[in-house]
Chains A and B, each alone.
Chain A
Amino acid sequence: MVKDNFLDTNIIFNYSNYIQNVSKDIIKKCYLFIKNKEGKFILCGAVLEELSSIIVKRAKIHKAVIKKIENEKFSFNSLVSDRDIPFAKKLYEKLKNQEIKKTSNELAMERDLSEITIQKFLKTQIDESVISIEQIDNDIVNKIHEIILNHADCKILASALQFQEKKDIFLFVTVDGQDFNPNVYEYLKEHFGLNGPKVKFPELLNLLFSK
């Protein structure tokens, strides 16, 4: 029987960045997973929230790159987190000799196209929107937080667990190689099974580790 799919943010974001014959394998995998849809697509509020946050962060990286091109002394730190600086630097190196107007246009085009793809996907492909931000059970979030540091990931998995409770087992679909790699996921299941009643976990489908 075909299982439904509870989507992690990265699946949707990677799908939005796909370029035919150019994108690397994992982005292509996300794209094909969505294109060859089997089962329902389920979306939670925490994924929507993280998508919005990623969209803003990307805009800040682009802004920092343009600012740096305008003024070489501009420091990326003032706009971009340490984790994102290498990407800002790479973009800057690539674009620094172009005129600002062209660069601004291209960066805006990149953001807009990705957003259009995401919004079209949300509007036409999502079968069920579940667990709004207000409905997330903080006790579950905190329990996941004992194992996983990333707060957004904790909220997304907590939403999946809450929704799974009354449903047939569905797939939790992700390409997160850290927090949701198969070993961590198994460990999380054990962690939840240690004390209290058994918690029903969705089946992990991590496209990074699947064929």
Chain B
Amino acid sequence: MTIRKTHQQIKEEILFQLKESPLSIEQIRKKVESNWSTINDYLGELKKEGKVKEIISTDKAKIYQRTLGDTYFDIPITDEERKKFRTLFSLIIQEYKLRGMIPTKTHFAKCAVHIIKNDSSKLSDLPTVWYLYGLIPQMIADPSQDYQEEINFEHKIKIKNLIKEFIDQNGNKGSGQIQREQHKIYGEELYILSDEFFKVLNKKEWKNEEVLEILNKFFIACPVDNEFPEIFNLTEKVLSLIRKLSLLDIELQDYRREILLIFDNLWKFIALYKLYESRTTGKNALNKENLFKFYIGNVLEFRKKTLQESILELNSIYLNKLSKFDPSKINLSEEVQEIRRIMEDWTGED
């Protein structure tokens, strides 16, 4: 005798199947063993309830993704990882509360990373990612949430000691300071340079040279990835625009707003790439194609367009200045002439 599944059971099964990765209606139908129109109807209900979202919709197929909203870009983690994260977050909150403190989002996330990255916690299987403000747990650490201990950590005492150690060392520091220090601890050059860049640009006054020196280092640190050529290409475009403005005898600080905007957009673009890179390399790496196609591809494209718009804005300032500028005025040093002489026969052709 066939036992008919209840509506609720089918919906739960759909959600269960969507846990690992997004699926088309046809794929869900096969896994849940139901017909296309039933699945389509339930997906409609789940969509209204905010539990799934349609991420690709064409004439031929619709692809749905589960929306838990507790990880960055809804990138999936396993149930086991989710429980471990929640338990770790609960222990951190408990320790802060014991001291009469509430952690900021940054303190919370950086404390969690401190524990995960310490071998003695035995939690190194929990995924962490490099993103806008440095290394963070892939599950969003939200201090306003009521986390519970969902599993018993084998090394709970050690973990609690590590939390205490982190709060002792960092409890009184500002979020920005903790971030900057973390970038240095992990030696992430690009993040260190980004910190330095924003620090200089937020000073009351600064000289062109201060910015140019950081940008030259940023050029060296910028990743070159043949799968994402735009990371390097757009970075160099931004850096060269700023350098060229300086060559046209312009005080860069007169264009602080435009430069801050363009660099901020560049950073958002690069940081998302860094997140992608973190999750597709090393332990428990995710499938590159899926991660791009279902989770970050659209956002990356949006950020690229935003960056290109701010490049256009600064470029129009540059072109305006260029029209009144005579390039032959610039003196080429002997060294630069020598570089040019070496490259004379280079045509750039493929």
Which of A's residues lie within 8 Å of B, judged by CB?
9-10, 13, 17, 19, 22-24, 27, 50, 53-54, 56-61, 63, 66-67, 70, 78-79, 81, 83-84, 87, 90-91, 94-95, 100-102, 104-113, 115-117, 119-120, 123-124, 150-153
**Chain A interface helix/strand/loop/mixed:** helix
CB <8 Å contact, B347 and A110: no
Give the chain A neighbours of B240 by CB distance below 8 A.
Answer: 59, 108, 111-112, 115
A-B contact pairs, 20 of them (CB 8 A): A17-B343, A19-B337, A22-B341, A23-B341, A27-B344, A57-B348, A60-B232, A61-B346, A79-B224, A87-B346, A94-B342, A104-B220, A105-B212, A105-B216, A113-B327, A113-B332, A115-B244, A116-B325, A119-B322, A123-B323
- Nearest opposing residue in chain A for B246, CB measure: A112
Chain B interface residues toward A at CB < 8 A: 212-213, 216-217, 219-220, 222, 224, 229, 232-233, 236, 240, 243-244, 247-248, 319, 322-323, 325, 327, 330, 332-333, 335-350
- Of B327, B337, B341, B342, the residue contacting A120 (CB under 8 A) is B327
Is the CB–CB distance between B335 and A106 below 8 Å?
Answer: yes
State the total of A-B contacts with C-beta under 8 angstroms.
126
In the docked arrangement, what's the CA distance between A95 and B341, Å? 13
Q: Is the CB of B350 within 8 A of A81?
A: yes
Report, nearest first, the 7 A-B pairs whose CB atoms are least far apart: A54-B348, A104-B216, A59-B236, A110-B339, A87-B346, A90-B342, A116-B327
Closest beta carbon of chain A to B315's beta carbon, Å: 9
CB distance from B231 to the nearest CB of A (A): 12
Contact of B332 among A19, A57, A90, A151 (CB under 8 A): A19
Residues on B with beta carbons closer than 8 Å to the beta carbon of A150: 349-350
Residue of B whose beta carbon sits closest to that of A111: B240
In the bound complex, residues from chain B placing their C-beta under 8 Å from that of A95 are: 339
Contacts of B220 in A (CB 8 A): 63, 66-67, 70, 100, 104
A151-B347 CB under 8 A given contacts A19-B337, A104-B216, A113-B330: no
> Can you name 6 extra interface pairs (CB under 8 A) apart from A19-B341, A111-B240?
A19-B337, A56-B233, A91-B342, A112-B240, A116-B322, A150-B349
**Partner of A117 from B229, B327, B337, B347 at Cβ < 8 Å:** B327
A24–B341 Cα distance when bound, in Å, is 8
Partner of B243 from A54, A112, A153 at Cβ < 8 Å: A112
